Structure 1
């Protein structure tokens, strides 16, 4: 039995995303992470990130990045995203940005919660909220 792979997307580096050193601007790494998180949520949610009647939405609480290898103009990178649910109101999303040769260019760890949009507070048990809203938990997390 093989271990499941996390959600993965490809992104091509554009010229306007480079800094004055000719490699990917530091902030763009975070943007690539955001693209992967949103794409994963859409896929897990059947094409939508809506929680329907629950009136809740994912909210990014923190993001930490480790830069490992530069990315340059014209490269295509793979960005993976995997969710780790715990017992609290927040959960972790772990992302890796890979160069075409498999080299890890960066890793990003995000703390995320689900916010009640009326109360402006995090909801309890985000994993069960995803499940109640019909999200495919196997797309969100390799641990499912």
Structure 2
């Protein structure tokens, strides 16, 4: 049995994403995390959520910067979800340079919103599974 390759997306840093110090602007790290979360959900079949009037919503985001990222570099942004009980779940994004160096870690708290009621639903994992979302794309279990 082979171990599944974790989800990740490749992003090349553009010059206009830099700050005055010449490295990636802090807000862009969060954008890269959002790209990975969106791509992972799309790959897992998340489009089916819209038919059920559901959508993930970001509630909290925290980032730890480890190494600078500069123009022209390529980064790999992973996405892993962890579910527990209640209305929220967590997703982490690790940003790695091409040599494997960890550049940043983003931890987010999300919920699954009922778009009609504008409220979070209970058991987001169950709703995702019932919608046909393949959670193995971005979960370790």
TM bucket, shorter chain: over 0.9
Question: Once the two structures are superposed, what CA deviation does each residue of 1:75-127 show, in whole Å capped at 9, x if it has no partner?
Answer: 00000000001011100001100011101000000001000111111001111
Q: How many residue pairs end up in the alignment?
A: 141
- Residue ranges of structure 2 left out of the alignment (5+ in a row): none
Match of 2:72 in 1: 74
- Residue ranges of structure 1 left out of the alignment (5+ in a row): none
Alignment of 1:1-144 (within 5 A): 3-45=3-45, 48-143=46-141
Could you tell me how far apart the structure 2 residues matched to 1:94 and 1:77 are? 15
Could you tell me how far apart the structure 2 residues matched to 1:58 and 1:52 are? 10
Could you tell me how far apart the structure 1 residues matched to 2:13 and 2:86 are? 36
Q: CA RMSD in A?
A: 1.2
- What TM-score comes out, normalization by structure 2 length? 0.95
Moved over 3 A (4+): 1-5
